[in-house]
Amino acid sequence: MHRFFRVMQIPINGTIIYLLAFSIYFISNSLAFTMFSYVIPSIVGTAIRAIVTGLIVFKMIEFDHFDYRMLIMYFSLLFLSILVAYRSGSKDIFFMMMLILGAQGVSFRSIARLYLFLGTSVLALTVVSAQLGVIKNLVFYRGSTARFALGTIYPTNLAALTFYLMVCYCYLRNVALKAREYLIMFVILCVMYYLTGTRLNVIISIGLLLVMVVYQRYQKNKSSQAELFLVNYSWLAMPIAFFSINWMSYIYSSTDKIQKMIDHLLSGRLGLGHFALTAYPQTLFGRFIEQNGWGGLNGVQPSPGFKYFFIDSSFVRLLAMYGIVFSIVTIGCFTYKARKLNQQNNVLIPLLLMVVAISSIVDANLLEISLNPFLWIFFSNISNNKGLQQRSYTSKANIT
């Protein structure tokens, strides 16, 4: 196939193949969280998975280079993803792993730029299509308050996509945001809260803006001791968040006033997490857990026997659905990569991963291909951020 492209004088390389595969799967996965999923035949998704797998395998064979240790690691991760996908019933775990492994040698900034473009385009297409009546614009109610999905299957999906697009934008800017950019994002958050009523998402998004202020002060050597501590140890956020929410969920008791208050602040996530962890004992490689959420037509028009149960926390989902081994690998890889980048003084990604970790306590999107742009950092090429002032790590000694 490689020779065919050369004969036809079509410029091709591993990056182009990967970005094509990424684009196809990203669009397909994104549309699955919109009302387009009700009009697109399921056979399309099957065909897309086959095409993407073929492209990734072709890229690996023709353009990637492996030593025996890397081959062992690749096959081990693929085998683990197949086992977890089979046990949990989540096919996307395997294709997520294919895209992660296939990113070898590809610029992460190129992936992030494509993610931002495609994500924004899909969001715009979905909202416009809903307003024009091409797809349904579902409206959910919390009491008497209307919550609009604007073409997505649930308002939180709309808010989550907006949040992750903002995270990706902050990464790509890689400089101190200007006042008008802070203002524009704050206005977007206000509009999003008005339309979707996603309180926790808005709070975390405001935290994202505050983290960018911390990053800006770090670049200018103006960090306080507390800010330096946050920067230097941001890589610990993922394991801390994982163990905290799983422990709090496991020991949760509705008779404890403090725990009940925390559960209320987290919109019932401790109670749901407690049920998931106790009703479905943890396994090494995951298990299928039947869930019924409010999203889509079944949620806005539930059947008489409908009973809500959905694991909102990414970390509880990770442990309960995908098993102990996959949880250790996932959290371990995020932590290792964040620490390595931090040691290289490439602190923006660890800081943004800290915000993602906090978000993952209360949302289910950590491993969503069409939402989390940092799934591709493990094997892609991450050069040190342009414009980042090189600073010595003597600051760490000053805070101990």
Q: Which residue has the higher pLDDT, 68 or 247?
A: 247
Which token pair is 210?
Answer: 């505050």
The neighbour count for residue 365, using CB atoms within 10 Å, is 22
* pLDDT for res 11: 64
Which token pair is 396?
Answer: 């760490």
Indicate whether 77 pLDDT > 50: yes
- The model's pLDDT over 305-355, given as tens digits with 9 standing for 90+, comes to 678 788 999 999 999 999 999 999 999 999 999 999 999 989 999 999 999
| Residue in 270, 280, 281, 279 with CA at minimum distance from that of residue 246 | 270
Which token pair is 181?
Answer: 């950019």
The neighbour count for residue 298, using CB atoms within 10 Å, is 13
Indicate whether 204 pLDDT > 90: yes
Where b means 16+ CB within 10 Å and e means fewer, 67-83 reads eeeeeeebeebeebbeb
**At a CB cut-off of 8 Å and minimum separation 6, what does 163 contact?**
201, 204, 205, 208, 359
* Residue 398 confidence class, pLDDT cut points 50, 70, 90: very low
* pLDDT for res 395: 39
Q: For residue 198, which amino acid is it?
A: T
* Residue 394 confidence class, pLDDT cut points 50, 70, 90: very low
Which token pair is 361?
Answer: 């306590």
- Longest CA span, the chain: 72
**What is d(CA 107, CA 376) in angstroms, rounded to the nearest whole number?**
10
Q: Which residue has the higher pLDDT, 393 or 275?
A: 275
3-class DSSP assignment, residue 88: helix
CA–centroid distance for 252 within its chain: 26
Q: What are the extents of the domains in the chain? A: 68-244+311-398
| Residue in 97, 74, 89, 98 with CA at minimum distance from that of residue 322 | 89
% pLDDT > 70, the chain: 90
Instruction: Burial-class residue 346 by CB neighbours within 10 Å (0-12, 13-18, 19+).
Output: middle
Instruction: Burial-class residue 149 by CB neighbours within 10 Å (0-12, 13-18, 19+).
Output: buried
Indicate whether 363 pLDDT > 50: yes
Distances (CA, A) of 150 to 147, 200, 376: 9, 19, 28
Indicate whether 47 pLDDT > 70: yes
3-class DSSP assignment, residue 202: helix
- The model's pLDDT over 231-271, given as tens digits with 9 standing for 90+, comes to 999 999 999 999 999 999 999 998 999 999 999 999 889 99
**At a CB cut-off of 8 Å and minimum separation 6, what does 264 contact?**
none
- What is the mean predicted confidence (pLDDT) over 124-141? 91
**At a CB cut-off of 8 Å and minimum separation 6, what does 162 contact?**
123, 188, 192, 205
Indicate whether 376 pLDDT > 60: yes
- What is the mean predicted confidence (pLDDT) over 372-379? 94
Indicate whether 396 pLDDT > 80: no
- The model's pLDDT over 260-295, given as tens digits with 9 standing for 90+, comes to 999 999 988 999 999 999 999 999 999 999 888 777
**At a CB cut-off of 8 Å and minimum separation 6, what does 158 contact?**
123, 148, 149, 150, 152, 192, 195, 196
Query: pTM of this prediction?
Result: 0.90
- What is the mean predicted confidence (pLDDT) over 117-143? 91
- What is the mean predicted confidence (pLDDT) over 117-138? 93
- What is the mean predicted confidence (pLDDT) over 147-154? 90
Distances (CA, A) of 68 to 74, 99, 318: 10, 20, 30
**What is d(CA 58, CA 64) in angstroms, rounded to the nearest whole number?**
9
* pLDDT for res 387: 39
Q: Give the DSSP letter of residue 275.
A: H
Indicate whether 54 pLDDT > 80: yes
* pLDDT for res 107: 94
* Residue 298 confidence class, pLDDT cut points 50, 70, 90: low
* Residue 203 confidence class, pLDDT cut points 50, 70, 90: very high
**What is d(CA 350, CA 377) in angstroms, rounded to the nearest whole number?**
11
- What are the φ and ψ backbone dihedral angles of 10, each rounded to 5 degrees? -100, 115
* pLDDT for res 297: 66
Across the chain, what does the average pLDDT equal? 88
